[in-house]
């Protein structure tokens, strides 16, 4: 069976209508759950996307689509690294794929591949400071790497070496002083060429904190290194009120399809569910007569909850390793494998075979301080966890038929970044230590 994600028929109909005529502006959550800092590119009819993986490894899970609706995981570009990875950028130059990314120790790296499926090279360190690297190339083939706070540095022709000093070429757009944000925090530079202009899409306001913190802003220039002119329509994407369904919208990339339709892909927290992490959303964009991107119909287009259909329970089975990543710091002297929850209410069940001296268990895991679950040592051990809108109930069993309730309706609504930091998510997680084996795992939307 082909392991692809199939989205709701309503979402498909709207997006396909938009692709043909751009007559139906769309807003679709294409990746619900922990899919932050989306980086997307198009290669002909093929779209590729990757996201931050932080301390979950292997990292930089790459997805492929031909219609922006159905996505298939195809590779993980980084097998292991000592530090957290976040805010990547992905591009293709002269037949080679590149992913640029920063790490939590303040360094920047690049990995490359001739095919998107890999093999991907070992990380190459770039001698440039800053975070959120964004690749840029001009009409003459000169390559550059943007980083946060409006800095840019020249790249070698092969994209693997910084060849000069980083310098500041862009000052942030000044949002109104009364807006409630975490701070200016200019980051996430994404650059594209359309017509005579290069467009720089940046994030401001901080990526968590208050609901109105984040935003996408746009500037343009006839040179890839500026000077930059801010859009009179800024911000392109923003949460204006805590009453909105999606909070902290930002970190966006402009992308077009082969039919000439344009979209902005960005991340956002679902209102009331920071525990899920930042989801990836796509929204229709149109261009003004004087060449600025604006949302196609910000007030008239209804949110379509793309969601994931029943195929997700197949996709995240434990025998599909591409959907699982190890919590690199380790946990309780054992190994913790995690996957992403995509629903506000769901149930997970695991069966373990355990030999003498071994341990195993099932968790909803944010970090070492914020988690809920149970371990056991019985030769055959089952755990079931129901997360019903941030209320978690845990059961255990030795035969899969007779269940003992261990925890009932525990409040996990605070298990997120604004309380525990880290920019992680509350993830279904399988724990093993010693001689223990995962026999099966299931995920079911409630």
SS3 37: coil
SS3 132: coil
Measured distance CA(101)–CA(57) in Å, rounded: 15
Of 113, 117, 133, give the one whose Cα is nearest residue 125.
133
| Tally of CA atoms within 13 A in the half-sphere of 270 that contains its CB | 24
Of 366, 290, 334, give the one whose Cα is nearest residue 437.
334
Catalytic annotation, pick one of 37, 132, 257, 283 = 37
Phi-psi region of 86 (alpha: psi -120 to 50; beta: other; left: phi over 0): beta
Catalytic annotation, pick one of 34, 107, 132, 187 = 187
Measured distance CA(418)–CA(67) in Å, rounded: 35
- Concatenated DSSP letters of 63-123: EEESSSS-BEEEEEEES--SS-B-S-EEEEETTEEEEEEEBTTS-EEEEEESSTTSPPPPP
- Concatenated DSSP letters of 255-319: EE-TTS-EEEEEEEEETT-GGG-EEEEEEEEEE-TTS-EEES-TTTSPEE-----THHHHHT-TT
Residue pair 147/131 in contact (Cβ under 8 Å)? The answer is yes
With a CB cutoff of 8 Å and minimum separation 6, the contacts of 235 are 173, 175, 204, 215, 216, 217
Q: Is 187 a catalytic residue?
A: yes
Residue pair 182/193 in contact (Cβ under 8 Å)? The answer is no
Residue pair 266/216 in contact (Cβ under 8 Å)? The answer is yes
Which residues are catalytic, by number? 37, 187
């Amino acid at each position: 069976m082909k392991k692809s994600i199939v989205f709701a028929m309503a979402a498909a109909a709207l997006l396909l209508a938009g692709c043909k005529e751009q007559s139906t502006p769309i807003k679709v959550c294409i990746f619900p759950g922990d899919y932050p800092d989306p980086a997307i590119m198009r290669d002909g009819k093929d779209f590729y996307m990757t996201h931050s993986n932080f301390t979950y490894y292997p990292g930089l899970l790459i997805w492929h689509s031909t219609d922006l609706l159905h996505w298939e995981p195809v590779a993980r570009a980084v097998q292991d690294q000592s530090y957290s990875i976040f805010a990547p950028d992905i591009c293709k130059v002269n037949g080679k794929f590149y992913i640029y990314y920063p790490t939590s120790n303040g360094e920047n790296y690049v990995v490359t591949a001739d095919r998107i499926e890999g093999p991907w090279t070992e990380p190459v360190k770039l001698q440039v400071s800053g975070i959120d690297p964004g690749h840029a190339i001009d009409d003459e083939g000169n390559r550059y790497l943007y980083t946060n706070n409006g800095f840019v540095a020249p790249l070698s022709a092969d994209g693997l070496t910084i060849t000069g000093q980083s310098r500041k070429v862009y000052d942030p757009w000044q949002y109104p002083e009364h807006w409630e944000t975490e701070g200016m925090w200019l980051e996430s530079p994404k650059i594209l060429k359309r017509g005579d202009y290069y467009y720089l899409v940046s994030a401001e306001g901080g990526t968590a904190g208050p609901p109105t913190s984040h935003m996408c802003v746009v500037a343009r220039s006839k040179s890839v290194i500026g000077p930059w002119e801010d859009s009179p329509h800024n911000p392109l994407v923003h949460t204006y009120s805590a009453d909105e369904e999606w909070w902290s919208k930002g970190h966006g990339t402009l992308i077009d399809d082969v039919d000439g339709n344009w979209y902005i892909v960005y991340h956002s927290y679902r209102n009331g569910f920071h525990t899920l992490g930042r989801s990836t959303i796509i929204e229709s964009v149109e261009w003004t007569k004087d060449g600025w991107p604006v949302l196609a119909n910000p007030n008239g287009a209804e949110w379509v909850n793309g969601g994931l259909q029943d195929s997700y329970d197949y996709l995240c089975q434990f025998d599909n390793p591409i959907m699982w990543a190890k919590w690199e710091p380790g946990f309780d002297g054992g190994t913790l494998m995690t996957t992403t929850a995509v629903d506000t209410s769901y149930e997970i069940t695991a069966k373990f075979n355990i030999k003498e001296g071994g341990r195993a268990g099932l968790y909803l895991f944010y970090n070492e301080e914020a988690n809920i679950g149970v371990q056991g040592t019985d030769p055959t051990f089952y755990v079931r966890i129901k997360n019903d809108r941030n209320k978690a109930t845990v059961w255990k069993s030795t035969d899969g038929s007779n269940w003992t309730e261990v925890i009932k309706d525990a409040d996990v609504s605070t298990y997120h970044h604004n309380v525990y930091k880290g920019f992680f998510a509350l993830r279904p997680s399988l724990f093993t230590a010693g001689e223990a084996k995962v026999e099966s795992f299931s995920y079911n939307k409630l």
